[in-house]
């Protein structure tokens, strides 16, 4: 049985490796990731994983896995920080408050059955000083990351409390992913 990862994310690839899984193919889906008007973060992240899965061609003997991660402050979706100004804005929003990190995984089995699971974790950061935000932005670590930060790097030192899946916050919830692989018939230990 062959596995297709619909993501060029090095984090997702590394997290799959923690399960002892190596994809046979890696393809990056090309979709519009713009949230719909008034779309809730939970609905958005589920839709993104499903659209990414649907955008990648799959042979009959392949299992396909796609995922998406978003950070939410209330109903507000914080996507991938595109520049320093947006990253600063995102970090100011999450400073000193709880926020949700949602990752959805969509798996398409060889018979074409698609299943989607959601991991919803909560992270609370310390209240940032202006110099901490500036230093973090200067590190370059959070560019292109949901919410403007990478939990597995320097940002981990700012976490005062969290609840949920650490791997989900990184971009691929291992518990949900392992169960989806088993349900899809992928041989896993």
Question: Helix count (H) and strand count (E) of the chain?
Answer: 6, 7
pLDDT of 111 higher than 80: yes
Q: What is the pTM of this model?
A: 0.94
Nearest-angstrom CA–CA distance, 11 and 171:
7
For position 96, what pLDDT does the model report?
97
CATH number for 113: 3.90.950.10
Which residues are part of the catalytic machinery?
68
For position 144, what pLDDT does the model report?
87
pLDDT, average across residues 82-108: 96
Within-domain flag for 151: yes
Q: pLDDT band at residue 128, thresholds of 50, 70 and 90?
A: very high
For position 188, what pLDDT does the model report?
84
For position 50, what pLDDT does the model report?
98
Within-domain flag for 32: yes
pLDDT of 99 higher than 80: yes
DSSP label at 146? B
Domain that holds residue 19: 2-183
pLDDT of 1 higher than 90: no
Within-domain flag for 188: no
For position 127, what pLDDT does the model report?
98
Nearest-angstrom CA–CA distance, 70 and 161:
19
Angle at 91 between CA 87 and CA 94, to 5 degrees: 140
Q: What is the pLDDT of residues 132-146, one digit of tens each?
A: 999 999 999 998 899
Provide the number of structural domains found in the chain: 1
Q: pLDDT band at residue 109, thresholds of 50, 70 and 90?
A: very high
Q: What CA–CA distances, in Å, run from 123 to 32, 162, 173?
A: 27, 4, 15
Express the helix, strand and coil content of the chain in percent, nearest 5 each: 35, 25, 40
Q: Which residues pair with 73 in a beta bridge?
A: 76
Q: What is the pLDDT of residues 23-72, one digit of tens each?
A: 999 999 999 999 999 999 999 999 999 999 999 999 999 999 999 999 99
Within-domain flag for 189: no
């Amino acid at each position: 049985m062959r596995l297709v990862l619909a993501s060029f994310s090095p984090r997702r690839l590394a997290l799959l490796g923690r399960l002892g899984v190596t994809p046979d193919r890696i393809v990056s889906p090309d979709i519009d990731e713009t949230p719909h008007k008034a779309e809730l973060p939970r609905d958005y992240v589920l839709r993104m994983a499903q659209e990414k899965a649907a955008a990648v061609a799959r042979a009959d003997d392949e299992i396909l896995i796609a995922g998406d991660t978003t950070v939410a402050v209330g109903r507000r979706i914080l996507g991938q920080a595109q520049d320093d100004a947006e990253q600063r804005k995102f970090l100011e929003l999450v400073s000193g408050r709880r926020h949700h990190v949602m990752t959805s995984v969509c798996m398409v089995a060889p018979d074409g059955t698609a299943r989607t699971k959601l991991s919803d974790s909560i992270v609370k950061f310390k209240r940032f000083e202006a110099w901490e935000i500036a230093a973090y932005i200067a590190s370059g670590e959070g560019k292109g990351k949901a919410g403007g930060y990478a939990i597995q790097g320097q940002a981990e030192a700012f976490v005062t409390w969290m609840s949920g899946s650490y791997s989900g916050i990184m971009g691929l919830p291992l518990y949900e992913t392992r169960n989806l692989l088993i349900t899809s018939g992928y041989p896993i230990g």
